């Protein structure tokens, strides 16, 4: 690639100029037929972009331009590109690109309804070079530095330098390979100054970076970066601008990173960054001393959230007011979504996303997306997971590695409705496919304070019986109960010392290989639970749980389960109002171990033998049924069955 500037002027015959004027629309530049025009201008007038532009020019939005080779805007010259202009780059690799030299300007005047479009015909990565802009702002590389692409000169002392304006630009198929070490980016910004305006830019399907800053002070707003094969945003040489609002997506494996910062730390700022991967990968990478200040970060689906490539100081990376923590997944609520970029004709529509990692802040899922729970998903203290009505979460059949856990101090807010319940299930919905949902609270338990749970080693238990772990409404959960060890399995829903401030209602647990719902101490109450073919106990409690369950319906149609109820250890005397349990395969109804008990009102047991089992010969007086001590010989078809005919939400699936 040569940097030579062509200044050959040809005198064009008057008849040719007259023909050009006759065929051009009213928006074409007016040319005095008595003056010579350059070959570059003549080609532009015919819709071809080629050569070095040495006088300012405005393209015509009604002309389809062909970028056949390099097109270079020289110092002192401005290229204006009106809204709706379409530039098709020849599939010519590194010889096809647009470059604005130091002192030159580009003015892209796209609008939301009529963006400017630059792409190869196919839009495939690596087809052409991309857009390069060189400015006069500072860079740690020095002054009048030679760029790695094109050998262009950049860098100076004017941080307020103005290289023009870019608004509503879509650029596709960039990243042509220059040599073994270098490629063009979608947009390369060399020492571009803060006087330059960049907003509403989409870079799609680039084989190198989406946008890279080489020093300078320029800022950018509203970036849409999709499937760029190296880094979506890359910076080096002390760039210290700001990016506001970026949406980054990866659906093709093998990319490098979401961010790559390198060399000196100019501490650029990033506000409201959403990055989503369906193929894993690394999110934010910082090399050498590089860093950034990031606010409003949401990462979804990445294997590595923070990578300090050269063991640089983590203190150089500030995320939401704290030093970056590589152990966090930063799966927070997205403040920027694809819907914010309706003007982008995106090549990929993301309808499936992975769900994994940890939540430290508030995360709200999107009911329009199918989430794939591929490993653990943990809400830490202070975090909150919001799951809107109609959301579906597909749990991979990964056994004990796949579960959702709300830690002590965290919250879950499941907002299902009768018409649109939330569904969490494996594809086959077979018992033992995945772990289940675990919630840990701060209420009392006879096991003590800050106890370690049998599943996950999570800490639970405290002194606040009114503790609030959130709200669960209209949830269908299937295929749980993965085996942890010889003595322990996950339950459908495990409630560890969950307090009475928590709301749980309209929950179905179906086909679990352990318990449907188990209470480990706490004071939480539940209403309207449907429990079908859970292989151990449909409802299990221990450690002095003392809440109330109103309207319980239990169904057993598969032989070999344990019990409908199992109460164990200390008797917190939980209350059950309106209990129906029906078995077509025999089995034990209600089992009480040690000194456990309960008060049950309006009971209907059908098909069990025995109905009541005092496993350790505990006192029958601890079990009160319809106002009397439990009887091991009573029939207990005495109440009114819980009517679940209107609970159609329980039939929901993936």
Cβ-based burial of 609 (10 A; exposed 0-12, middle 13-18, buried ≥19): exposed
Tell me: do 247 and 362 sit in the same domain.
no
* Confidence label for 32 from pLDDT (cuts 50, 70 and 90): very low
List alpha helices for 490-646, DSSP H: none
Structure tokens at 148: 């790695």
Predicted pLDDT at 211: 98
Structure tokens at 12: 């064009």
Measured between alpha carbons, how far is 533 from 524 in angstroms, rounded to an integer? 24
Measured between alpha carbons, how far is 427 from 435 in angstroms, rounded to an integer? 14
Tell me: do 229 and 368 sit in the same domain.
no
Predicted pLDDT at 33: 37
Q: Is 448 left (phi over 0), alpha (psi -120 to 50) or beta?
A: left
Structure tokens at 328: 């966090």
For 368-414, the pLDDT digits (tens) are 889 999 889 999 999 999 999 999 999 987 667 899 999 999 999 99
For residue 511, give the nearest of 423, 414, 588 by alpha carbon.
423
DSSP string, 475-522: EEEES---B-SSS-B--SEEEES--TT-EEEEEEEES-SS-SEEEES-
For 114-124, the pLDDT digits (tens) are 999 999 888 89
Decide: 39 and 10 in contact? Cβ < 8 Å. yes
For residue 201, give the nearest of 184, 182, 183, 188 by alpha carbon.
188
Cβ-based burial of 496 (10 A; exposed 0-12, middle 13-18, buried ≥19): buried
Q: Give residue for tokens 């299937």.
A: 478
DSSP string, 161-225: ---EEEEEEEEES---B-SSS-B--SEEEES--TTSEEEEEEEES-SS-SEEEESS---EEEEEE
State yes or no: pLDDT of 5 exceeds 90. Answer: no
* Confidence label for 486 from pLDDT (cuts 50, 70 and 90): low
Domain boundary among 523, 557, 573: 573
* Confidence label for 355 from pLDDT (cuts 50, 70 and 90): confident
Least confident residue range of 94-98, 568-572, 606-610: 94-98
Tell me: do 387 and 490 sit in the same domain.
yes
Tell me: do 147 and 252 sit in the same domain.
yes
Tell me: do 524 and 398 sit in the same domain.
yes
Tell me: do 257 and 362 sit in the same domain.
no
Give a yes or no: residue 644 inside a domain.
no
The residue-averaged pLDDT of 436-454 equals 96
Q: Is 432 left (phi over 0), alpha (psi -120 to 50) or beta?
A: left
For residue 508, give the nearest of 535, 473, 483 by alpha carbon.
473
Top pLDDT among 528 and 92 is at: 528
Query: How many residues are recorded in the chain?
Result: 654
For 135-193, the pLDDT digits (tens) are 999 999 999 999 987 889 999 999 999 999 999 999 999 987 776 666 789 999 999 99
Decide: 259 and 233 in contact? Cβ < 8 Å. yes
Top pLDDT among 64 and 590 is at: 590
For 618-630, the pLDDT digits (tens) are 999 999 999 999 9
Domain boundary among 268, 293, 327: 268
- Please list, in sequence order, all residues whose beta carbon lies within 8 angstroms of the beta carbon of residue 589, skipping any fewer than 6 positions away: 563, 564, 565, 581, 583, 605, 608, 610, 611, 612, 613, 636
Q: Is 219 left (phi over 0), alpha (psi -120 to 50) or beta?
A: beta
Q: What is the torsion angle, in degrees rounded to the nearest 10, for the CA atoms of residue 436, residue 440, residue 445 and residue 451?
A: 100
Give a yes or no: residue 348 inside a domain.
no
Q: Measured between alpha carbons, how far apart are the two ends of the chain, in Å?
A: 55
Give a yes or no: residue 589 inside a domain.
no
HSE toward the beta carbon, residue 275, CA cutoff 13 A: 30
- Please list, in sequence order, all residues whose beta carbon lies within 8 angstroms of the beta carbon of residue 200, skipping any fewer than 6 positions away: 110, 112, 115, 167, 168, 169, 221, 222, 343
pTM (predicted TM-score): 0.77
Tell me: do 396 and 499 sit in the same domain.
yes
Measured between alpha carbons, how far is 382 from 459 in angstroms, rounded to an integer? 15
Structural domain of 524: 358-573
Measured between alpha carbons, how far is 108 from 129 in angstroms, rounded to an integer? 18
* Confidence label for 21 from pLDDT (cuts 50, 70 and 90): very low
Tell me: do 487 and 371 sit in the same domain.
yes
Tell me: do 261 and 388 sit in the same domain.
no
Q: Give residue for tokens 């309209």.
A: 506
Decide: 332 and 360 in contact? Cβ < 8 Å. yes
Predicted pLDDT at 28: 38
Decide: 624 and 631 in contact? Cβ < 8 Å. no
State yes or no: pLDDT of 8 exceeds 60. Answer: no
Q: Classify the C-alpha dihedral 546-445-356-437 as positive or negative.
A: negative
- Please list, in sequence order, all residues whose beta carbon lies within 8 angstroms of the beta carbon of residue 582, skipping any fewer than 6 positions away: 554, 555, 556, 604, 605, 606, 607
For 36-45, the pLDDT digits (tens) are 678 999 999 9
List alpha helices for 343-498, DSSP H: none
What residues form DSSP beta bridges with 385? Answer: 363, 412
Give a yes or no: residue 236 inside a domain.
yes
Least confident residue range of 22-31, 264-273, 587-596: 22-31
Domain boundary among 557, 573, 589: 573
Top pLDDT among 337 and 239 is at: 239
Top pLDDT among 261 and 278 is at: 261
Give a yes or no: residue 17 inside a domain.
no
Q: Give residue for tokens 């049998």.
A: 454
Least confident residue range of 244-258, 354-368, 426-440, 491-505: 354-368
Give a yes or no: residue 391 inside a domain.
yes
Measured between alpha carbons, how far is 630 from 624 in angstroms, rounded to an integer? 6
Tell me: do 214 and 363 sit in the same domain.
no
For 332-342, the pLDDT digits (tens) are 888 999 989 99
Measured between alpha carbons, how far is 199 from 607 in angstroms, rounded to an integer? 69
What residues form DSSP beta bridges with 142? Answer: none
Q: Is 186 left (phi over 0), alpha (psi -120 to 50) or beta?
A: alpha
Tell me: do 252 and 393 sit in the same domain.
no
DSSP string, 113-131: SS-EEEEESS--TTSB--E
SS3 state at 275: strand
Measured between alpha carbons, how far is 392 from 385 in angstroms, rounded to an integer? 14
Give a yes or no: residue 488 inside a domain.
yes
For residue 216, give the nearest of 187, 245, 178 by alpha carbon.
187
Give a yes or no: residue 274 inside a domain.
no
Measured between alpha carbons, how far is 257 from 460 in angstroms, rounded to an integer? 37
Tell me: do 254 and 125 sit in the same domain.
yes
User: How many structural domains does the chain have?
Assistant: 2
State yes or no: pLDDT of 22 exceeds 70. Answer: no
Average pLDDT value over all residues in the chain: 91
Measured between alpha carbons, how far is 493 from 481 in angstroms, rounded to an integer? 9
DSSP string, 10-47: EPPPHHHHHHHHHHS-TTSPP--TTS-EEHHHHHHHTT
């Amino acid at each position: 690639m040569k940097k030579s500037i062509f200044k050959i002027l040809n005198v064009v015959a008057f008849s040719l100029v007259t023909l050009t004027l006759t065929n051009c629309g009213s928006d074409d530049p007016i040319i005095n037929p008595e003056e010579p025009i350059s070959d570059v201008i003549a080609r532009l007038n015919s819709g071809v972009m080629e050569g070095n532009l040495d006088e300012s020019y405005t393209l015509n939005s009604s002309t389809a331009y062909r970028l056949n080779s390099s097109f270079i805007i020289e110092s002192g010259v401005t290229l204006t590109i009106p809204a709706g202009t379409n530039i098709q780059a020849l599939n010519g690799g590194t010889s096809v690109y647009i470059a604005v030299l130091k002192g030159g300007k580009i003015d892209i005047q796209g609008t939301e309804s009529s963006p400017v479009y630059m792409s190869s015909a196919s839009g495939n990565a690596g087809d052409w070079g991309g857009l390069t802009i060189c400015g006069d702002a500072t860079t740690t590389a020095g002054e009048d530095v030679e760029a790695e692409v094109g050998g262009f000169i950049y860098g100076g002392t004017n941080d307020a330098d103005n290289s023009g304006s870019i608004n509503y630009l879509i650029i596709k198929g960039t990243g042509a390979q220059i040599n073994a070490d270098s490629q063009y980016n979608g947009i390369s910004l060399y020492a571009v100054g803060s006087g330059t305006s960049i907003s509403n830019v989409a870079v799609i399907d680039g084989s190198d970076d989406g946008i890279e800053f080489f020093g300078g002070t320029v800022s950018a707003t509203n970036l849409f970066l999709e499937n760029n094969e190296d880094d979506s945003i890359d910076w080096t040489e002390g760039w210290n601008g700001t990016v506001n609002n970026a949406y980054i997506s990866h659906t093709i494996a093998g990319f490098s990173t979401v961010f790559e910062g390198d060399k000196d730390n100019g501490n650029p700022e990033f506000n409201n960054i959403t990055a989503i991967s369906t193929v894993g990968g690394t999110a934010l990478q910082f090399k050498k001393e590089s860093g950034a200040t990031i606010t409003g970060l949401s990462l979804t689906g990445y294997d590595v959230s923070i990578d300090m490539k050269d063991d640089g100081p983590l203190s150089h990376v500030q995320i939401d007011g704290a030093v970056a923590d590589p152990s966090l997944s930063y799966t927070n609520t997205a403040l920027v979504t694809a819907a914010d970029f309706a003007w982008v004709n995106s090549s990929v529509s993301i309808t499936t996303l992975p769900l994994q990692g940890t939540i430290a802040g508030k995360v709200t899922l999107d009911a329009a997306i199918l989430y794939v729970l591929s490993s653990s998903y943990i809400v830490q203290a202070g975090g909150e997971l919001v799951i809107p009505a109609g959301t579906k979460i597909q749990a991979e059949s990964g056994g004990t590695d796949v579960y959702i856990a709300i830690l002590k101090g965290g919250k879950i807010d499941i907002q299902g409705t009768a018409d649109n319940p939330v569904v969490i299930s494996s594809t086959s919905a077979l018992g033992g496919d995945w772990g289940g949902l675990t919630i840990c609270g701060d209420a009392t338990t006879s096991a003590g304070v800050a106890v370690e749970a049998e599943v996950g080693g999570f800490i639970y238990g405290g002194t606040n019986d009114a503790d609030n772990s959130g709200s669960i409404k209209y949830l269908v959960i299937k295929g749980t109960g993965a085996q942890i060890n010889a003595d322990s399995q996950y339950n459908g829903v495990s409630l560890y010392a969950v307090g009475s401030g928590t709301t749980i209602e309209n929950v179905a647990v179906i086909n679990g290989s352990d318990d449907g719902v188990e209470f480990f101490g706490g004071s939480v109450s539940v209403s309207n639970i449907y429990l079908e073919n859970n292989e151990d106990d449909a409802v299990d409690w221990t450690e002095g749980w003392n809440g109330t369950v109103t309207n319980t319906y239990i169904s057993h149609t598969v032989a070999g389960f344990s019990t409908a109820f199992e109460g164990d250890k200390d008797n917190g005397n939980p209350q059950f109002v309106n209990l129906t349990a029906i078995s077509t395969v025999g089995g034990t109804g209600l089992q009480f171990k040690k000194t456990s008990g309960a008060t049950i009102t309006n009971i209907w047991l059908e098909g069990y033998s025995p109905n009541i089992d005092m496993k350790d010969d505990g006192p029958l007086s601890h079990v009160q049924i319809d106002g009397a001590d439990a009887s091991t010989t009573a029939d207990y078809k005495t109440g009114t069955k819980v009517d679940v005919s209107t609970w159609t939400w329980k039939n929901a699936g993936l």
